[in-house]
Amino acid sequence: MVRVGVLGAGGKMGSYVCKAVENDPDLLLVSAVDPAFDGQKATPTGDIVISKNLDTLIQSQTEVAVDFTYAQAARESLKWCAAHGINMVMGTTGFGDEELIEFNQLFQTAKSNCIIASNFAIGAVLMMNFAAQAARFMDGVEIVELHHQEKIDAPSGTSIATAFKIANSQDSTAISYEPQPSLPAFNSARGVEGPGTIRIHSVRLPGLVAHQEVIFGALGQTLTIRHDSYDRQSFMPGVLMAVKAVADRPGLTVGLDDLLGLPQAR
């Protein structure tokens, strides 16, 4: 049985992870950390009390720490877990390419491993891979990502990862098109340029959870690939899969593709 700790345990995602771990017969919730919820119970039915200190991970002999916090806190937690030999499953987004290189170097020498994913919903992972395949045959592409109003980072990590996969797919021909220079346009109305100069548009509204569509265009036709998470429970199967797999994945693993046996971006 894998001993699991949750960082950001009192937050929306963290509380779901605590319950999912508690209900999995192969996992044992042994610690929970969240300074904003210090002293509160991690789950309504369990005995674990949320702490404000990372040291509780050591005291409880945590084997895998799951992080759903915010970027700055996650950076420090990741370095701390690497230094203390605790495996990590990182669901926090907002990291740049240079930071991922740094994290990879960190876990090359650490006694623990790490899985970082921009999205733990299995359907979202499939959506990104389908988009990479479609990019070989379509002429143009743009991404629209829609999230709840409290999401801090924009564009989302999933949209950036999708653009990266499209840009690096074998023989990709899809690009984003600029407006005609003779027509006035607000630059922001065209979104931001992601990897491969693929344009990404972000929407933040109450009532949304996590949604993304990849819109392709070609002569006389369009193709839309869309994924919707209507409930945060959609992320839990991927999180639990990563928790169970991380000990056998040396170093840093980015994304769930390899765990699912999907082709990797080139």
State the CB neighbour count (10 A cutoff) for residue 59. 11
The C-alpha atoms of residue 74 and residue 243 are separated, in whole angstroms, by: 17
Q: Which residues are catalytic?
A: 147, 151
* Residue from 76, 83, 149 nearest 110 by CA: 83
Q: Rounded to the nearest 5°, which phi and psi values hold at 120? A: -100, 0
DSSP 4: E
CA atoms within 13 A on the CB side of 75: 10
The C-alpha atoms of residue 61 and residue 8 are separated, in whole angstroms, by: 18
* Residue from 165, 125, 71 nearest 255 by CA: 125
Q: Rounded to the nearest 5°, which phi and psi values hold at 127? A: -55, -45
